[in-house]
Structure 1
């Protein structure tokens, strides 16, 4: 097991605090496990006047059965509709009165409720988030009202062919697995979402051992703990230990080869790619470098070949995702329908070249530099720091220090990338297309 994968938090006694190290300066990261299993991770950034607070729940769309599809995302909306202490209007009024931001997002594996405020308003942010996340009413009336909002969100997604193409690709490459389903659920599952179903999901899943509070900004760890004890009281009492990070125990279904969704759009939207490995794999930094060099910026090989040299598409890029037991690599391009076959051919040509020959030294260096720059520049934002703390705690059970991550990126060699590319880019590719095609017989022959 690597040093990044060891999890000191699982050995930490509830109620004790650990200093986890330093980032790129004097910002100290500290971690406390409260008696009820709730983890609190903070990063003090003295030079700013803001604070970002996140309440993370280790629950996402992958934890739903078919009848519950969309429940995690539905809750993300619903919890802001009111608590026993605050109405939805009061929640909005209190955060607006201090010029703050209060919001949430859902992913396949996490749900995060967050606030961004002035450092002087930290107590309000903590109290609001704790009230919303731990004491939501979820009334039948609010479920019915918010159902309409979620259905509108699904309709917006369906009106955006690029979003639709990404969801289609995910379902194609991951098959009939919860990771391959839409975070939003389906129109049918949302219409059938009862108060009993969504509230039961909430009460069963939202438990302190599955939760993390992460805070970054001009704050002190001790003050955050005081505010949490005041806001939560007996809710964080007990003797529970945190849930360990997810592991890849599930067996994935067979990867599909081609999916088409007919859409009366002016462009054809193409995604092709394959499964990769889980987020704990030692090759993840090499994969990041490969992805950046292939399609991560204007100097990337795909951008240069498809757009700059051939003028075949306005948008072309590559992307990677990672989960507990798998991941995906994908290339996206949007083009005129009569250029789809040529775009597909050029992308496959580039992938085959890199599989056979690897990247040049200059491409590897640019890929490393892009990863380093993106990581460090994000540290200028307390919200990004808060998000890094929360994600790392849920995904790895510990904070992965910035300097250590930078060293791992710097250690990636051209040989590492070449070996990875030779394996990954020779795998069978899944293809997803959204565009003005009635059926797959109308697609260019090379895609069928």
Structure 2
């Protein structure tokens, strides 16, 4: 059962389900696509700083101790089009959880000393990602795909940007973004009516303001590629294409196509690159969508000596779907997707994220059964036609980490059709 409410221009979403936990998720209209070049990274930095003390708990030690002593799962995250704060607990602890989560959103104090210390933490997070090729290859892919616009920037920002952020910058961005029209409060799980009243009461104190506008997405100039030269034991690659926004009718078809290509252990990529060639340990294909853009991509760590052959084969897998897809492949990809989709909705935090992001990014609430009904109607020719539309040179992007020459990649791109 899904209940939508609005109070003081703040939107609420309550998902009632008989499970042993309850999750509160607060989504804020912010992230990289609400930033500019000068302050890129501030959304993520501010997310960290909300845990550094509030008016009720002035030090981070006091605040985090309050979270920890009731034995809950809590954290925060920043993406391109939203920032999220969540906590999952038993129903008995939920009143305390509501108080704490509302406190860090409404009453953060951003101590000057903590801002300076946290800069070091965030810079080390940036360094961690750069030292983890299987993670960093995704950032490079988006940069190659979208170019120099917010959708292609690092969520964490650059070390240079983080170092120059001042407390006044934090206060200004917080005042602009953390207002009622920019926030959706989602509660999912074992909810009673008194819990709904409590949530409405605690979050009614969120400041009023204007709805923030994100940057306008610009169609990128493709094909494009980026090589990050680094001595590694394998060559990491990201190979993909410009996709579609979440609300586009083609997005769900591309989900099934991505699953068929490289989303399962019986998929084409896994079978050819890992099982037959023995050229990779990890290889996966994913389809990602946002409010106004999206992509499909394959990420892999390839054996150095088989790199060129394996990369050619990855491109060939994409090309082959433009020609032939079997009935058995389609049935397997759809059945697998539906099964995993249901599994992804088992817990209260799963439900909060599913319904919350649907409302936040798509502007509407959809039941899982509605999505599955559409998925079951997808035909083989739908996917072949979609592959012919998407898997073209004019939509192609590649990112690579390793000792690779540009001329090698240019030749591969020239030969792709």
Tell me by how many angstroms 1:188 deviates.
Answer: 0.7
Structure 1 consecutive aligned stretches of length 4 or more whose deviation exceeds 6 Å: none
Summarize deviations over 1:254-309 as a string: whole Å, max 9, x none.
23522100112111001111111211111111111100000001110111111112
Summarize the alignment of residues 165-184 of structure 1 with structure 2, pairs less than 5 Å apart.
165-184=137-156
1:399 and 2:371 are equivalent in the alignment? no
**Residue number in structure 2 paired with 1:19:** none
Consecutive unaligned residues of structure 2, counting only runs of 5 or more, are: none
Q: Deviation at 1:319?
A: 1.2
Given the superposition, is the C-alpha separation of residues 179 and 332 from structure 1 closer, same or farther in structure 2, using an over 3 Å criterion? Answer: same
2:21 to 45, 50, 53: 50
State the alpha-carbon separation in 2 of the partners of residues 177 and 248 from structure 1.
9
Deviates more, 1:111-120 or 1:254-263: 254-263
CA gap of 1:229–1:323, structure 2 versus 1, over 3 A, is closer
1:398 and 1:325 map into 2 onto residues whose CA distance is 15
* Residue of 271, 284, 293 corresponding to 1:304: 271
Matches for 1:227-246 after TM superposition, within 5 Å: 227-235=198-206
Q: What is the aligned-residue RMSD (CA, Å)?
A: 2.0
Q: Is the 8 A contact 1:248 1:326 kept in 2?
A: no
Partner Cα separation in structure 2 for residue 427 and residue 280 of structure 1: 24
Structure 2 Cα separation of the partners of residues 216 and 404 of structure 1: 19
Contact 1:270 1:332 in 2 (8 A): yes
Residue 53 (structure 2) aligned to one of 68, 82, 85: 82
Gaps of 5+ in 1: 1-27
Match of 1:190 among 162, 170, 191: 162
Q: Distance in 1 between matches of 2:205 and 2:286?
A: 44
> In the alignment, what sits opposite 1:420?
386
- 2:273, 2:200 → 1: CA distance? 56
Deviation at 1:243, TM superposition (A): 5.3
- What CA distance in whole angstroms lies between the structure 2 residues aligned with 1:432 and 1:386? 33
Partner Cα distance (1:350, 1:442) in 2? 19
Contact 2:95 2:198 in 1 (8 A): yes
Rounded to whole Å, the distance in 1 between the matches of 2:146 and 2:232 is: 26
1:66 aligns with 2:32: no
Matches within 5 A, 1:17-416: 28-34=1-7, 36-46=8-18, 48-86=19-57, 87-220=59-192, 222-235=193-206, 250-357=217-324, 359-416=325-382
**What is the CA-CA distance between 1:143 and the residue it aligns to?**
1.0
Compared with structure 1, are the counterparts of its residues 188 and 247 closer, same or farther at alpha carbon in structure 2 (3 Å cutoff)? Answer: closer
1:112-132, Cα deviation, whole Å (9 max, x unpaired): 000011111111111111100
TM-score in terms of structure 2 length: 0.94
**Aligned equivalents of 1:191, 1:299: Cα separation in 2:** 46
CA distance in 1, matches of 2:291, 2:215: 5
Q: Distance in 2 between matches of 1:189 and 1:249?
A: 22
Alpha-carbon deviation of 1:251?
A: 2.3
TM-fit CA distance, 1:32: 0.3
Count matched residues: 412
1:430, distance to aligned residue in structure 2 (A) = 1.5
- CA deviation map 1:195-241 (0-9, x unaligned): 11122111111111110110111112x323321344245447x7x8x
- The answer to whether the 8 A contact 2:86-2:101 is kept is yes
TM-score, structure 1 normalization: 0.88
Structure 1 CA distance for aligned equivalents of residues 224 and 14 of structure 2: 44
Residues in 1 aligned to 2:410 and 2:205: alpha-carbon distance in whole angstroms:
63
The CA distance in 2 between the partners of 1:42 and 1:76, in whole Å, is: 24
Q: Deviations over 1:356-387 (max 9, x none)?
A: 22x21111111111221121112211110011
1:444 Cα offset (Å): 9.2
Whether the 8 Å CA contact 2:345–2:354 is kept in 1: the answer is: no
Contact 1:127 1:227 in 2 (8 A): no
Give, in whole Å, the separation in 2 of the partners of 1:360 and 1:114: 42
Q: 1:272 touches 1:431 (CA, 8 Å); kept in 2?
A: yes
The separation in 2 between residues aligned to 1:343 and 1:234, in whole angstroms, is 56
In structure 1, how many angstroms separate the alpha carbons of the residues matched to 2:215 and 2:229?
A: 34
1:66 match: secondary structure: coil
